[in-house]
Structure 1
Amino acid sequence: MTAATIQAIGIYVSASLLLVAVLAAAMRIVRGPGGPDRVVALDLLSLLGVAAAAMAVVISGSTAFMDIALGVALVGFLTTVAFAAFIERGSINEEEER
Protein backbone atom coordinates (compact mmCIF):
# COMPACT_ATOMS: atom_id res chain seq x y z
CA MET A 1 0.00 0.00 0.00
CA THR A 2 1.23 3.43 -0.85
CA ALA A 3 1.03 6.47 1.38
CA ALA A 4 -1.61 8.02 -0.89
CA THR A 5 -3.83 4.95 -0.56
CA ILE A 6 -3.56 4.98 3.22
CA GLN A 7 -4.36 8.69 3.28
CA ALA A 8 -7.41 8.16 1.05
CA ILE A 9 -8.70 5.38 3.30
CA GLY A 10 -8.16 7.60 6.35
CA ILE A 11 -10.09 10.43 4.71
CA TYR A 12 -13.04 8.15 3.90
CA VAL A 13 -13.12 6.73 7.42
CA SER A 14 -12.84 10.20 8.97
CA ALA A 15 -15.60 11.58 6.75
CA SER A 16 -17.88 8.68 7.65
CA LEU A 17 -17.30 9.13 11.38
CA LEU A 18 -17.80 12.88 11.04
CA LEU A 19 -21.13 12.29 9.31
CA VAL A 20 -22.26 9.94 12.08
CA ALA A 21 -21.29 12.52 14.70
CA VAL A 22 -23.21 15.27 12.86
CA LEU A 23 -26.31 13.07 12.71
CA ALA A 24 -26.03 12.27 16.43
CA ALA A 25 -25.64 15.94 17.33
CA ALA A 26 -28.58 16.91 15.12
CA MET A 27 -30.71 14.24 16.78
CA ARG A 28 -29.78 15.60 20.22
CA ILE A 29 -30.72 19.13 19.12
CA VAL A 30 -34.13 17.93 17.95
CA ARG A 31 -34.88 15.45 20.75
CA GLY A 32 -32.85 16.94 23.61
CA PRO A 33 -34.81 16.91 26.85
CA GLY A 34 -33.80 20.42 27.87
CA GLY A 35 -32.21 23.67 26.80
CA PRO A 36 -28.74 22.91 28.17
CA ASP A 37 -28.62 19.61 26.25
CA ARG A 38 -29.44 21.44 23.05
CA VAL A 39 -26.78 24.07 23.72
CA VAL A 40 -24.11 21.40 24.22
CA ALA A 41 -25.23 19.67 21.00
CA LEU A 42 -25.05 22.98 19.15
CA ASP A 43 -21.53 23.52 20.48
CA LEU A 44 -20.62 20.02 19.31
CA LEU A 45 -22.07 20.80 15.89
CA SER A 46 -19.87 23.89 15.58
CA LEU A 47 -16.85 21.80 16.60
CA LEU A 48 -17.75 19.29 13.89
CA GLY A 49 -17.89 22.19 11.42
CA VAL A 50 -14.34 23.07 12.38
CA ALA A 51 -13.34 19.43 11.89
CA ALA A 52 -14.97 19.42 8.45
CA ALA A 53 -13.05 22.54 7.47
CA ALA A 54 -9.84 20.90 8.69
CA MET A 55 -10.62 17.86 6.55
CA ALA A 56 -11.11 20.20 3.59
CA VAL A 57 -7.60 21.54 4.22
CA VAL A 58 -6.19 18.01 4.12
CA ILE A 59 -8.12 17.07 0.99
CA SER A 60 -7.55 20.24 -1.04
CA GLY A 61 -4.25 21.44 0.36
CA SER A 62 -5.55 25.01 0.44
CA THR A 63 -4.98 26.91 3.65
CA ALA A 64 -7.98 29.17 2.99
CA PHE A 65 -10.15 26.65 4.80
CA MET A 66 -8.22 27.37 8.01
CA ASP A 67 -9.72 30.86 8.03
CA ILE A 68 -13.15 29.30 7.66
CA ALA A 69 -12.42 26.93 10.54
CA LEU A 70 -11.35 29.85 12.72
CA GLY A 71 -14.52 31.77 11.88
CA VAL A 72 -16.76 28.77 12.61
CA ALA A 73 -14.98 28.20 15.94
CA LEU A 74 -15.42 31.85 16.92
CA VAL A 75 -19.12 31.92 16.03
CA GLY A 76 -19.68 28.60 17.81
CA PHE A 77 -18.02 29.91 20.96
CA LEU A 78 -20.04 33.12 20.93
CA THR A 79 -23.34 31.30 20.44
CA THR A 80 -22.53 28.91 23.28
CA VAL A 81 -21.76 31.81 25.60
CA ALA A 82 -24.93 33.63 24.55
CA PHE A 83 -27.14 30.58 25.11
CA ALA A 84 -25.47 29.95 28.48
CA ALA A 85 -26.31 33.53 29.49
CA PHE A 86 -29.92 33.02 28.40
CA ILE A 87 -30.19 29.81 30.40
CA GLU A 88 -28.64 31.41 33.49
CA ARG A 89 -30.97 34.39 33.26
CA GLY A 90 -33.94 32.11 32.87
CA SER A 91 -34.95 33.26 29.40
CA ILE A 92 -34.87 29.66 28.22
CA ASN A 93 -37.03 27.88 30.75
CA GLU A 94 -36.97 24.10 30.79
CA GLU A 95 -40.47 23.94 32.28
CA GLU A 96 -41.99 25.61 29.21
CA GLU A 97 -40.32 23.13 26.85
CA ARG A 98 -42.01 20.08 28.37
Structure 2
Amino acid sequence: MIEGALAFGFAALGLALAMNLWRLFKGPGVADRILALDTMVINAIGLIVLIGIASDSATAFEAALLLAMVGFVGTVAYAKFLLRGDIIE
Protein backbone atom coordinates (compact mmCIF):
# COMPACT_ATOMS: atom_id res chain seq x y z
CA MET A 1 0.00 0.00 0.00
CA ILE A 2 2.75 2.47 0.94
CA GLU A 3 4.66 1.66 -2.24
CA GLY A 4 1.70 2.76 -4.35
CA ALA A 5 1.32 5.96 -2.39
CA LEU A 6 5.03 6.69 -2.75
CA ALA A 7 4.90 6.04 -6.49
CA PHE A 8 1.92 8.39 -6.84
CA GLY A 9 3.69 11.03 -4.72
CA PHE A 10 6.87 10.82 -6.81
CA ALA A 11 4.87 11.09 -10.04
CA ALA A 12 2.80 14.03 -8.79
CA LEU A 13 5.82 15.95 -7.50
CA GLY A 14 7.77 15.20 -10.68
CA LEU A 15 4.91 16.60 -12.76
CA ALA A 16 4.69 19.64 -10.48
CA LEU A 17 8.42 20.27 -10.86
CA ALA A 18 8.13 20.04 -14.65
CA MET A 19 5.26 22.53 -14.67
CA ASN A 20 7.22 24.89 -12.39
CA LEU A 21 10.22 24.63 -14.69
CA TRP A 22 7.99 25.61 -17.59
CA ARG A 23 6.71 28.64 -15.64
CA LEU A 24 10.28 29.55 -14.71
CA PHE A 25 11.32 29.77 -18.37
CA LYS A 26 8.08 31.15 -19.82
CA GLY A 27 6.95 33.41 -16.95
CA PRO A 28 5.84 36.79 -18.23
CA GLY A 29 7.31 38.70 -15.30
CA VAL A 30 10.06 38.49 -12.76
CA ALA A 31 7.56 37.96 -9.93
CA ASP A 32 6.24 34.85 -11.71
CA ARG A 33 9.77 33.50 -11.93
CA ILE A 34 10.36 34.12 -8.21
CA LEU A 35 7.16 32.27 -7.36
CA ALA A 36 8.15 29.41 -9.66
CA LEU A 37 11.52 29.09 -7.92
CA ASP A 38 9.88 29.18 -4.49
CA THR A 39 7.38 26.53 -5.51
CA MET A 40 10.19 24.41 -6.94
CA VAL A 41 11.92 24.55 -3.56
CA ILE A 42 8.70 23.42 -1.87
CA ASN A 43 8.35 20.53 -4.35
CA ALA A 44 11.99 19.56 -3.85
CA ILE A 45 11.35 19.44 -0.10
CA GLY A 46 8.44 17.11 -0.79
CA LEU A 47 10.66 14.88 -2.91
CA ILE A 48 13.32 14.75 -0.20
CA VAL A 49 10.68 13.79 2.37
CA LEU A 50 9.38 11.05 0.07
CA ILE A 51 12.92 9.75 -0.42
CA GLY A 52 13.32 9.72 3.37
CA ILE A 53 10.11 7.73 3.78
CA ALA A 54 11.10 5.28 1.05
CA SER A 55 14.58 4.68 2.47
CA ASP A 56 13.76 4.97 6.21
CA SER A 57 16.44 7.63 6.58
CA ALA A 58 16.22 10.36 9.22
CA THR A 59 18.96 12.32 7.47
CA ALA A 60 16.62 13.13 4.59
CA PHE A 61 14.24 14.93 6.93
CA GLU A 62 17.06 17.09 8.25
CA ALA A 63 18.07 17.88 4.68
CA ALA A 64 14.48 18.89 3.90
CA LEU A 65 14.45 21.23 6.89
CA LEU A 66 17.72 22.83 5.81
CA LEU A 67 16.45 23.28 2.26
CA ALA A 68 13.29 24.90 3.60
CA MET A 69 15.28 27.44 5.59
CA VAL A 70 17.65 28.23 2.72
CA GLY A 71 14.77 28.48 0.25
CA PHE A 72 12.87 30.90 2.47
CA VAL A 73 15.90 33.14 2.98
CA GLY A 74 16.69 33.06 -0.73
CA THR A 75 13.15 34.02 -1.72
CA VAL A 76 13.04 36.88 0.77
CA ALA A 77 16.44 38.16 -0.33
CA TYR A 78 15.54 38.04 -4.03
CA ALA A 79 12.21 39.79 -3.45
CA LYS A 80 13.93 42.47 -1.36
CA PHE A 81 16.50 42.95 -4.11
CA LEU A 82 13.75 43.47 -6.67
CA LEU A 83 11.91 45.98 -4.49
CA ARG A 84 14.84 48.06 -3.24
CA GLY A 85 17.77 47.31 -5.50
CA ASP A 86 19.98 46.07 -2.66
CA ILE A 87 19.77 43.38 -0.04
CA ILE A 88 21.81 44.81 2.81
CA GLU A 89 20.89 48.29 3.91
TM value normalised by structure 1: 0.83
Contiguous gaps of at least 5 residues in structure 2: none
Q: 1:12 aligns with which of 1, 7, 30?
A: 7
Q: Structure 1 runs of 4+ off > 3 angstroms?
A: none
Task: Percent identity, please.
Answer: 30
Taking the TM superposition and a 5 Å limit, the aligned residue runs for 1:32-43 are: 32-43=27-38
Whose radius of gyration is greater, 1 or 2? Answer: 1
Query: Aligned partners of 2:73, 2:32: CA distance in 1, in Å?
Result: 17
Partner of 2:71: 76
Query: Aligned partners of 1:63, 1:27: CA distance in 2, in Å?
Result: 32
Matching residue's letter, 2:53: V
Query: Aligned partners of 2:61, 2:71: CA distance in 1, in Å?
Result: 15
Cα offset, 1:48, TM superposition: 0.8
Aligned length: 86
| CA RMSD between the two structures | 1.2
1:50 aligns with 2:45: yes
| SS class of match (1:33) | coil
Matching residue's letter, 2:77: A
Q: 2:20 aligns with which of 2, 22, 25?
A: 25
